[in-house]
Amino acid sequence: MRRLLIYFLFGITGTVAVFFLFIWTGTLNPLHSSPNAHEKSAALPLGKAIYEAKCTTCHGDDGKGDGRAAALLNPKPRDFTSGMYKIRTTESGSIPTDEDLARAITNGLHGSAMPDWGPFLSGDSLKAIVAYIKSFSPRFEQEKPRVAHISAPVPSSPPSTADGKRVYAKLQCASCHGTDGKGTGATATELFDDWGDDIVAANLTEPWTFKGGSTARDIYLRFRTGMNGTPMPSYLGSASEKEMWDLANYVVSLARKPVWAMDAEALKTFYAAADAEAKKNPVQRGKYLVEAQCVGCHSGYSADGKVLPEFKLAGGLVFDLYPFGKFTSFNLTSDKETGLGNWTDEEIKRAITQGIQRDGSRLLPFPMPWTSIAQMPDDDVNAIIAYLRTVPPIHNKVPMPGKPNFFSYMWGKFEMLILKKQTPGYIYPMKDFTKEAE
């Protein structure tokens, strides 16, 4: 009987030893369990290494434009597998040249989250990343880029600009871009790209947001070649070369001064007009505010840290703030049962500016930053509420902050106050969340 016990203990010790051996050698390290982990070494092709370090956050591991942050970005990151690119010097429908891709990477795409990689990637690195991005789509092997012939530019002059204005009317640019060029045409709110994502018509008065650059030549190229995958067609055939150059000159003339070039008087009028516009259109203002400060935490994440587009604004990010307990970001959609559907405007306002929950209990000053939202002007808070009312309902039940375990809470306080120990917080997706997503 005693011998049996000894064997039994031997077995346990052996298993534990093997287990730790695995951990020690890294075979079982949970932090390195991603499928590509074992491939990482200096032997990786340079393009792939750069891509995985710099690009996957937005464009995804497979180049489908579905990286961790993709769902929250406007416009959405490019899907490289389609081989379709907006900013090209090639004919409509054609694949871009290597130089087009290199230029986009070096200069970035203004008005989007694509930064200028010029300071970090050049020479062989740039060539390698262009080659790797091309490898996502078979089109680059099957087709050759058809470079567009660029005609001699028509220099900018008042007559050319006036002609351009007539072309603007003739080609019905105003139906999307608006008569004033501010991107508020009749159909501007109903524009979708080939992937079904909402897109906006460019505001032609803000040239610093033009993705492909703001010189007359850049603008001419956008009409001449079209923007593949978007409702912006090529006007080759419907307009003469001169008309396209005139139009480019006209669009250049629409530009207004950016705030960094304005003097005090101009800034005052500009911001007064912007505030009046925001007051007139609170839902649009609210959308801008929510997308620039709320969605990051109030969205559902997959277990590997990717924002799930189907749970945008539906809550589900857990903040484990020892010793205060766990806090899950709330469902902000208009779902009646699990979201804000049954909340009154007053209740929402009280929660986000004073940290008072629906049942009257108080929120801590973190992780929900109601202390910061309390700094906002009243109009902006109302605009946020107005926009949240329009968010389509998504059913996602989120646990309310509960009381933490009494003893761990007290021990945590003791550590923080008496022992002065730094206690880090943890952030991770709601546990059963991915199951729910399936």
Partner 1 sequence: MKKFLKWTAIVAGCLVVIGFLAFLYFIPPLTMIPQTAFTQPLAQALEAPLKSIKDPAEKILAERGKMIVGRSACSDCHTPQGSQGPNYNEFLAGGGMKDEFKLYGSVISRNLTPDKETGIGARTDAEIIRVLRSGVSHDGRVMTPVYMPWFDFSNLTDEDKYAVVVYLRHVKPVRHKIPEYSSHSDFEILSETAGDYAEHQRAH
User: How many residues can be counted in the chain?
Assistant: 438
For partner 1, the closer CB: 224 or 306? 306
For partner 1, the closer CB: 168 or 319? 319
Phi, psi of 325 (to 5 degrees): 105, -170
Among 36, 189, 238, 342, binds partner 1 (CB under 8 A): 36
Tell me, residue by residue from 210 to 249, as one string, x for binding to partner 1 by CB under 8 A and - for no binding: ----------------------------------------
Cβ-contact 337, 371 below 8 angstroms: no
Tell me, residue by residue from 99 to 128, as one string, x for binding to partner 1 by CB under 8 A and - for no binding: ---------x-xx-xxxxx-xxxxxxx---
Among 10, 11, 23, 40, binds partner 1 (CB under 8 A): 40
For partner 1, the closer CB: 156 or 353? 353
In angstroms, give the least distance from the CB of 187 to partner 1: 23
Q: Is 321 helix (H, G, I), strand (E, B) or coil?
A: strand
By C-alpha distance, which of 368, 351, 369 is closest to 360?
351
- Kindly state the number of chain residues that form the binding site for partner 1, as judged by CB under 8 A: 91
Q: What's the angle, vertex CA 132, arms to CA 128 and CA 138, rounded to 5?
A: 140
Among 376, 386, 436, 437, binds partner 1 (CB under 8 A): 376
Cβ-contact 390, 283 below 8 angstroms: yes
404 binds partner 1 (CB under 8 A): no
Q: How far apart are CA 156 and CA 254, in angstroms?
A: 13
Q: How far apart are CA 54 and CA 95, in angstroms?
A: 23
Q: 271-330: which residues touch partner 1 (CB under 8 A)?
A: 271, 288-289, 291-297, 301, 304-305, 307, 317
Q: How far apart are CA 116 and CA 105, in angstroms?
A: 6
Which residues 6+ apart lie within 8 Å of 344 measured at CB?
none
Q: 343-362: which residues touch partner 1 (CB under 8 A)?
A: 354-355, 361-362
Torsion of CA 393, 394, 395, 397, to 10 degrees: -110
409 binds partner 1 (CB under 8 A): yes
In angstroms, give the least distance from the CB of 234 to partner 1: 28
7 binds partner 1 (CB under 8 A): no
42 binds partner 1 (CB under 8 A): yes
